[in-house]
Amino acid sequence: MDAGKNHEWLKKGNHVRKSKAGERGRMKAVIQRVSRAEVRVDDKITGTIGAGIVVLLGVGQDDTATDAEKLCAKIAGLRIFEDARGRMNLSLMEINGEILVVSQFTLMADCSRGRRPSFVKAAPPDRAEILYDHFVETCRCLGIPTATGRFRTVMEVSLTNSGPVTLMLDSRGKKDKE
């Protein structure tokens, strides 16, 4: 989806859409601190980064642009990089790190019943792509060098974990949890 369509969709008020039954959007991310990473589609590199964070991003049905912005800001500010004393005390912004964002609708899976995951909580692809693109643009607006995979394609992600440090996040903050 091109930036013009994204802008029009957001302009129509979709970023402030109320959730059903009082539920809030819950965009999910699995992030990994890396020394390098790349993503390939059809044996061609579509994105590569040096030191920074790989973000596997799942977009839910009730997610909004606000969820994307909140999650991006959280990731950019997390103090998960080591300072001179070897303590996790620096953020991605402070180390001038890079970010690789990969769409991953499977993060929205519900595995509570049976053996086949249900993806009914995932946003429809057209809407998910708009919010994925908005997340990426938010990263870029923060001045973070940002690489991406390609939405709705089979991708191969290669990375070198640093630490390892792997965290699971969602856009629902502590105050929002029931």
pLDDT digits 0-9 by tens, 91-105? 999 999 999 999 999
Question: What predicted TM-score, i.e. pTM, was given to this entire model?
Answer: 0.84
The tally of CA atoms less than 13 A away on the side-chain side of residue 164 is 9
Residue 136 in domain: yes
Residue 16 in domain: no
- How many separate domains does the chain show? 1
Residue 77 in domain: yes
Rounded average pLDDT over 21-30:
70
Residue 166 in domain: yes
Residue 20 in domain: no
* DSSP, residue by residue, 72-125: HHHHHH---EE-TTS-EEE-TTTTT-EEEEEE-GGGG-B-SSSSS-B-TTBPPH
Residue 18 in domain: no
pLDDT digits 0-9 by tens, 102-149? 999 999 999 999 999 999 999 999 999 999 999 999 999 999 999 999
Give catalytic residues, as residue numbers: 104-106
Asked if the model's pLDDT at residue 24 lies above 50, the reply is: no
Q: Chain-wide mean pLDDT for the chain?
A: 87
pLDDT digits 0-9 by tens, 49-77? 999 999 999 999 999 999 999 999 999 99
Residue 58 in domain: yes
Residue 89 in domain: yes
Question: In this structure, what CATH number is given to the domain that contains residue 138?
Answer: 3.50.80.10
Tell me which residue range forms the domain holding 79.
3-10+25-170
Q: What is the pLDDT of residue 77?
A: 97
